[in-house]
């Protein structure tokens, strides 16, 4: 059984799969320290328990071929049923992408594509060592104040720049656009990739898109 906050069909609005039709499964529950700028704090607690069979059958019945599993922190439920869902989707030929902060160690056995968004909180990067080794992509929430910390992290960890995405911080269209040019210029300067938030630019603060 997995604790679910919401599910919906849309387009992936962020990162390496931007624009791709996707079925979103947002799991409930997160781990401290929590992000003060989180756009889905309602997913930190609560949720509805659903079986892996129910989730898998819905994906198959609606003929989705790409599933985004996010949170909250999805890997906090790895041993509660997410491992089984990951395996079944993979065996059915359905692509999966995970959105994670990396605060909970990313399992080595994961079959899907993992986009890790490390968070600099309480004066340190909140990232499990295992997550650094397992993540396929790193997506940083970026603003003027965080650029130096991001650069230092990338340099210290010797990350391949093709794996690094910067996404302007902002829960609204206006805040995204206000930071976009500065983050764009920094990506050009450093060789990073730019990740906008298409759903925010399109629908502003509307949820479930």
CATH at residue 121: 3.20.20.70
The answer to whether residue 64 is domain-embedded is yes
What is the pTM (predicted TM-score) of this model?
A: 0.94
- Distance in Å from the first CA to the final CA of the chain: 25
What's the domain range around 157?
Answer: 2-203
The distance from CA 34 to its chain's CA centroid, rounded to whole angstroms, is: 15
The answer to whether residue 132 is domain-embedded is yes
Q: Is the dihedral of CA 102, 166, 65, 24 positive or negative?
A: positive
Identify the H or E element spanning 48: strand 48-50
The answer to whether residue 41 is domain-embedded is yes
The answer to whether residue 178 is domain-embedded is yes
- Per-residue pLDDT 10s for the chain (209 aa) are 999 999 999 999 999 999 999 999 999 999 998 888 888 889 999 899 999 999 999 999 999 999 999 999 999 999 999 999 999 999 999 999 999 999 999 999 999 999 999 999 888 999 998 998 899 999 999 999 999 999 999 999 999 999 999 999 988 999 999 999 999 999 999 999 999 999 999 999 888 78
Residue 174 three-state SS: helix
Maximum distance among all Cα pairs of the chain, rounded to whole angstroms: 47
State the number of CA atoms in the 13 A half-sphere of 113 facing the CB. 14
The answer to whether residue 208 is domain-embedded is no
The answer to whether residue 209 is domain-embedded is no
Overall domain count for the chain: 1
The answer to whether residue 101 is domain-embedded is yes
């Amino acid at each position: 059984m997995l604790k679910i906050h919401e599910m919906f069909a849309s387009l992936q609005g962020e990162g390496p799969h931007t624009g791709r039709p996707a079925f979103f499964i947002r799991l409930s529950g997160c781990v401290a320290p929590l992000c003060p700028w989180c756009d889905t704090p309602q997913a930190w607690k609560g949720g509805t328990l659903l079986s892996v069979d129910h989730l898998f059958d819905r994906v198959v019945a609606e003929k989705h071929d790409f599933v985004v599993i996010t949170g909250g922190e999805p890997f906090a439920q790895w041993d509660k049923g997410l491992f089984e869902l990951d395996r079944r989707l993979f065996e059915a030929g359905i692509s999966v992408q995970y959105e994670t902060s990396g605060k909970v160690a990313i399992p080595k056995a994961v079959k899907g594509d993992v986009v890790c968004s490390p968070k600099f909180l309480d004066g340190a990067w909140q990232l499990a060592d295992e997550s650094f080794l397992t993540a396929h992509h790193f997506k940083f929430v970026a603003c003027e104040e965080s650029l130096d910390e991001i650069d230092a992290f990338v340099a210290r960890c010797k990350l391949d720049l093709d794996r690094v995405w910067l996404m302007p911080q902002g829960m609204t269209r206006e805040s995204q656009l206000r930071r976009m040019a500065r983050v764009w210029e920094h990506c050009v300067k450093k060789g990073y990739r730019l990740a906008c938030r298409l759903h925010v630019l399109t629908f502003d603060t509307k949820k479930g898109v």
